Chain A
Amino acid sequence: GENVEQHPSTLSVQEGDSAVIKCTYSDSASNYFPWYKQELGKGPQLIIDIRSNVGEKKDQRIAVTLNKTAKHFSLHITETQPEDSAVYFCAASSRGSTLGRLYFGRGTQLTVWP
């Protein structure tokens, strides 16, 4: 099955700086790559996703990039704010072949210091 690796496991940044989280995947059939944010005491929530026919996607301060050749994708958060502090998970799946299953990375604990 698919194997998703995520780095770093923890990340601390100053408010206003940028944060980058990187993931790699193993299955070339994967074509959907979502990112989830988990705040303390809550379930993970989708914040952005990218499909394999797109190389980059932006939504305000967050952006995702995908390199299909190298099998890696990244989450970029600019102008970080304390409310961005959370655990972020990347995931991968192959639409149509896994009946909805997502393969998650281990997560990155992001702390933004004011």
Chain B
Amino acid sequence: DAGVIQSPRHEVTEMGQEVTLRCKPISGHNSLFWYRQTMMRGLELLIYFNNNVPIDDSGMPEDRFSAKMPNASFSTLKIQPSEPRDSAVYFCASSLEEAYNEQFFGPGTRLTVL
């Protein structure tokens, strides 16, 4: 298995632009998580899905952030419009709920908003 796949690995954009981050979870996993990591705030859970349904989006910073999971093998995290304070590393992780919740993380997307 290739593990969790994220794209792009690096994204540099200008303030005000739309940014879309993509994630392909491990096949067969039924929970998917989006995290944001910064030095100041550590590892923050933004939103998570179970069986493609959003369960808790209370970590989403504001309305500029949105996430979708149209099917079991794909999810997106969108920021529109982007701001410099959105600069961070964004991780996607997936897990099989029945397997004691071990989460497998992707390599992350490093986002820089100028």
Contact = CB atoms under 8 A, between A and B. Distances in A.
Q: Which of B42, B95, B106, B108 has the most CB of A within 10 A?
A: B42
Nearest to B93: A43
Given A100-B31, A100-B95, A46 B42 contact: no
Interface in A89-114: 89, 93, 95, 98-102, 104, 106-107
B114 interface: no
B107 A101 contact: no
Given A43-B91, A89-B43, A106-B42, A99 B100 contact: no
Contact of A100 (B50, B107, B108): B50
Interface residues on A, range: 20 to 34
Contact of A99 (B42, B45, B50): B50
A44 B103 CA distance: 9
22 contacts: A32-B101, A36-B105, A42-B108, A43-B93, A43-B107, A44-B91, A44-B105, A49-B100, A49-B102, A95-B101, A99-B50, A100-B31, A100-B50, A100-B96, A100-B103, A101-B33, A102-B101, A102-B103, A104-B42, A106-B43, A107-B42, A107-B43
Q: Give 4 closest A-B pairs by Cβ, nearest first.
A: A43-B105, A100-B31, A99-B50, A106-B42
Given A36-B105, A42-B107, A45-B105, 4 more contacts: A32-B100, A100-B101, A101-B55, A106-B43
